[in-house]
């Protein structure tokens, strides 16, 4: 990610959350959306990093639904705290 893209994401993160969460329904984009959500929230990603190094399908089976729920809850918390 270049400096311009990083700047855009960091300054528009709240607007991006709903869009990125919707991408969990697309297996071509779900993993990328999750990584971007981790990046913009600064959430520690150690567990998923290990899983995906092994196999992204492992993340889809073991963590995808949990991560999606977490991001929905996170979005609600952050959008109501403003």
Q: For position 81, what pLDDT does the model report?
A: 67
User: Residue 62 sits in which domain range?
Assistant: 3-80
- In contact, 60 and 27? CB cutoff 8 Å: yes
| pLDDT digit string, tens, across residues 16-58 | 889 999 999 999 999 989 988 888 887 776 656 555 556 788 8
What does the alpha-carbon distance between residue 21 and residue 23 come to, in Å, rounded to a whole number? 5
- Number of domains observed in the structure of the chain: 1
| pLDDT digit string, tens, across residues 65-79 | 999 999 999 988 887
pLDDT band at 7 (very low <50, low <70, confident <90, very high): confident
Q: For position 16, what pLDDT does the model report?
A: 85
What does the alpha-carbon distance between residue 40 and residue 6 come to, in Å, rounded to a whole number? 9
Q: For position 80, what pLDDT does the model report?
A: 75
pTM, two decimal places: 0.76
Q: For position 9, what pLDDT does the model report?
A: 72
- In contact, 56 and 31? CB cutoff 8 Å: yes
């Amino acid at each position: 990610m270049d400096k311009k893209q990083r700047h855009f994401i960091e300054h528009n993160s709240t607007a991006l959350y709903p869009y990125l969460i919707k991408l969990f329904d697309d297996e071509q984009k779900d993993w990328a959306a999750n990584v971007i959500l981790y990046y913009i929230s600064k959430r520690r990603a150690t567990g998923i990093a290990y899983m995906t190094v092994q196999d992204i399908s492992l993340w889809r089976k073991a963590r995808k639904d949990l991560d999606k729920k977490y991001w929905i809850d996170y979005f609600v918390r952050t959008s109501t705290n403003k």
